[in-house]
Amino acid sequence: MGRRFKDMQTEEQRFAASTAGVRVRQLQKAADAADQEAQRQQMTADIYGRDGRDYTDRPKAERAAREARKHGDRAGRLFDEAKRVAEAAAPKPRKRGWFR
C-alpha cells in the first residue's frame, strides 16, 4: 500500500525543514546581539543614573533604560521565535498503533 496523504509533506514544508537549522542559528545570533546591546544600554543607565556623582545625567540614564528595555524585548522575541522554529522543524514522533 502507498503512504497515507496525511503523512506526506508539501514542498514548502520540506523546504522549511531543510533550512530550519540555518534559520535557527540566524535568529539566535540576532538575539544574542540584541541581548548584548541591552546589557550595554543597561550599564550606561546604571552608571549615569547614580545620584551624588559628578557624571550623573538623568535624561541620558532614562534614555539608556528605554533602549535597554527595547533591546531586551527584541532579544526575548527572537529567542522565542528561534525556539518555535526549532520545535517546528523537529520530526514528530510516530504514533504507535495496533496495525503497523
In a domain, 13, yes or no: no
Tell whether 65 is covered by a domain: yes
In a domain, 2, yes or no: no
C-alpha R_g of the chain: 23
DSSP 8-23: ---HHHHHHHHHHHHH
Q: What is the pLDDT of residues 88-98, one digit of tens each?
A: 877 777 777 77
**What confidence score (pLDDT) does residue 99 get?**
67
Q: Does the pLDDT at position 6 exceed 70?
A: no
35-67 residue pLDDT tens: 999 999 999 999 998 888 778 889 999 999 999
Specify if 58 maps to a domain.
yes
What's the number of domains the chain is made of?
A: 1
Q: Which domain holds residue 56?
A: 23-89
